[in-house]
Structure 1
């Protein structure tokens, strides 16, 4: 009888998580027939940023993983973008891409996709050239610390973006709420949160390892946002699902919210 792999969590992200395998597994395709999640995420982020109203001095990406695709459409609207992750392997993948080192993941198809959405498909290399100098720092983060960037003391930022991070870090809904509270503390009053959430997902696989997620409904996510000094601006959702072991889930949501003025 086959045994169920152990669910990994917490410190396992520091010791066994492989950012290269993760990127190669989940980010080598965009357009897949009958599966709209990736396109939904990119189109929605493009829609949010292309209006030019979400901008400022600093965008902080929480739990970036080994990825840079979520901040591509944000580059021209911010002076600085800061990427973060709990896993040293993921931060190493970030640095490899920034420094154009061997072993970096190839994000060309994502730059090309965003350029196509911009209506200028041949401009993708310029998008890449614009993004690199904007990503000035890559920090370690732990969403369960009152200051997730500790020991770094960062001024509160204009915008925070986080994608599938809080649910994969959390073992239950209470922990999810704590993580949300800590992340929102880094946002200035009037600042914007862009939250990309994966729904009804209990785990995802990276190579032979299986990592836990807390299973959330759309209402769970919305209610947690509202409980943490945020007011909703827009909600976008997608009913894509996947039942394979790589990342079984049912539905996703993207929330644009604003931190209430004190």
Structure 2
């Protein structure tokens, strides 16, 4: 299929509810649920449990109305700011956060996260804690030259980006430019958790094929090192459903100059 026929995520805005029900519902078969929910939440839990990442502010720059990876994060960061390009995504998140009728249920993820923490009887507590931790949901245009003016906060202690660069970047140069914009939101010696699909070309939402940038692990490593990042942990795993390879990377930003304490 001609790549020019693929939809662009941030321009064509694929239906958010269809995306959630297709890939993130509690009713998925085991293999797909492991790929999209179980394994990512476990990876996030394990990365945070290492104890390197804590602080006041986490910024989440991801695709879709996705919050599943934030259930472990709300135990480590006091404030979580979501940045999304899609108005539908923001509406879905706000419906869930404000307990509105028809909101998508993430209860199955809350149950999994609390099981990982050995607190299986605290699902409702976990749900409330995450809702309380999310203080802002900010809409932004990924083509904006700088993202720092959008947030009335200091730089983040940690940034998580789940699939964002994969779908908004037209080519590898575009990836590097957008990566730099994200890193400008990060404090010196802050951490970046970057999750993306290697060697992919598209994913489907309903009848639509959504563009994904094709790249490999070496390219991402080189792009991060070029921006002054030190790679602490790198993980690659293959989806059981064969949808795409997922690369889970934990990064630490190292100051390019000056004293780290400044």
User: Are 2:30 and 1:32 equivalent residues in the alignment?
Assistant: yes
The SS at the match of 2:56 is: strand
Match of residue 253, structure 2, among 233, 255, 259: 259
Structure 2 CA distance for aligned equivalents of residues 143 and 230 of structure 1 = 22
Counterpart residue number, 1:55: 54
Give matches, 1:45-124, under 5 Å.
45-124=44-123
Q: Which runs of 5+ in 2 are unaligned?
A: 258-262
Cα contact 1:144–1:178 (8 A) shared by 2: no
Residue 120 of structure 1 aligns to a residue whose secondary structure is: coil
Distance 1:136 1:127, change over 3 A: same
Give me the TM-score of the superposition, normalised by structure 1.
0.88
Task: For residue 50 of structure 1, report the CA deviation from its aligned partner.
Answer: 2.4
Q: Report the CA distance shift for 1:117/1:10 in structure 2 as closer, same or farther (over 3 A).
A: closer
Segments of 5+ residues of structure 1 without an aligned counterpart are: none
2:260 corresponds to: none
Determine if the alignment matches structure 1 residue 198 to structure 2 residue 192: no
Describe the shift of the 1:149–1:93 C-alpha distance in structure 2 as closer, same or farther (beyond 3 A).
farther
Call closer, same or farther: CA 1:208–1:185 in 2, change over 3 Å: same
Tell me the C-alpha RMSD between the 2 structures: 2.3
Q: Decide whether the 8 Å contact of 1:142 with 1:149 is kept in 2.
A: no
Change (3 A) 1:35 1:126: closer
Secondary structure of the equivalent of 2:213? coil
| Aligned pairs (5 A) from 1:12-23 | 12-13=11-12, 16-23=13-20
Give TM-score scaled by structure 2 length: 0.88
Q: Deviations over 1:149-187 (max 9, x none)?
A: 644454211100010110111111111111111100110
Alignment of 1:208-219 (within 5 A): 208-219=207-218
Is contact 1:115–1:127 with CA below 8 Å preserved after alignment? yes
- TM-aligned CA deviation for residue 103 of structure 1: 2.5
Shift of 1:189: 0.5
